[in-house]
Amino acid sequence: MIIMSQNLSLFCVFLIFGLLTPSTCLNTPKQGYKSKGMFVFGSSLVDNGNNNFLANSLAKADFSPYGVDFPLGPSGRFTNGDNVIDILGKKLKLSDYIPPFTDPSTRGSKIVHGLNFASGGSGILDATGALAGNVTSLNQQINNFEKVTLPELELQLGSKNSKEILSNILFVVGSGGNDYSLNYFLGLAGSNVSLEAFTNTLTSTLSTQLKRLHELGARKFVLMAINPNGCSPMALARVPTQEGCVENLNRASVMFNANLKNLVDDIRPQMPGSNLVFVNAYKMMSDIIRFPRSRGFRDASNSCCEVRQVSEGGTGILCKRGGSICPNRSEYVFFDGLHPTEAVNVVIATKAFSSPLRAEVYPFNVMKLSQI
């Protein structure tokens, strides 16, 4: 969509964010919420295919059986179907999936309702993810947003005031898990760094990154907690004698998530006009893992797909290319060695969007955030 006059471009801006109703502009989302798009940053839990276009990246999910239940097949999403971002987009009544930044076709009018910058294997810290080959760190994702997307967004909408445009778009950030699994617990942070000190470094770094997004015009933030990775098939396979979840991994997640929730209150006064929502995906998944059958699941400890284990030269995370999968995917918590199935993503996204419980969404849910 190329806007030819300033008046028409401003009209389209108003239309995109629900301030006008005539169907003058093309491809506008359905009405109902002020938030008419999402910019997504983070790692594999929210990545929708960016690593597909990164040479030498080892963190890819662009092959079968990934996407077995997704309309477009293997797309780079690390699950069998929709991820949390896809489902949130449907809740917001967006007209299409949020496109990946690195896809060469993601240009022009395709960016006006948001972009996904997330990169599987990446982290809050630049050093995280080196073992996964070429991945895009959270800092670089924000650079891409600032240097490439913002100028193009202004060009498409014909407005020099990008902060006005961005004030009604959700900025979803889901990062941090890899900073533990692909950094701290591999000893990359140094042998003398305590878990508490490392977690505080992550939190302060993320705080700086959120402030940077705010300076670029972001006002509505959705912060995703780290999942209970100590309960994943990958973690359980590495400690086969362990009964129950691997507590040191979960302890790290709990510590980070507590800091992240506190950050919602601590950082808001430093970011005028902002609103932040903490989504406690850790609690949502833990509740399923503790009582799977009462929540419609049967298997909370095994991967649905056939995973190439460390003993076989794999990572214990990714599905084998063309490997076998379970027929009853909606009954499994994990699709591969780490990532949840679409069924779990539906639970997380639905609760994120509309849960009334502050233990699950703090201080309120994404639906309320989208209406502010």
Nearest to 258 by CA among 230, 219, 223: 223
Nearest 5°: phi and psi at 367?
-60, -45
DSSP state string for 204-228: HHHHHHHHHHHHTT--EEEEEPPP-
Amino acid at 112: V
Is residue 178 within 8 A of residue 118, CB to CB? The reply is: no
Give me the residue label for tokens 């508490």: 196
Max Cα-Cα span within the chain: 67
User: How buried is 32 (Cβ within 10 angstroms: 0-12 exposed, 13-18 middle, 19+ buried)?
Assistant: middle
Q: Which residues pair with 307 in a beta bridge?
A: 319
Alpha-carbon Rg for the chain, nearest whole angstrom, is 20
Amino acid at 275: N
343 conformational bin, left if phi > 0, alpha if psi -120 to 50, beta if neither? alpha
Q: Which residues pair with 299 in a beta bridge?
A: 332
Degrees to nearest 5, angle at CA 138 with 221 and 37: 40
Catalytic residues: 44, 336, 339
Sign of the dihedral through C-alpha 228, 229, 233, 239: negative
Degrees to nearest 5, angle at CA 50 with 305 and 321: 25
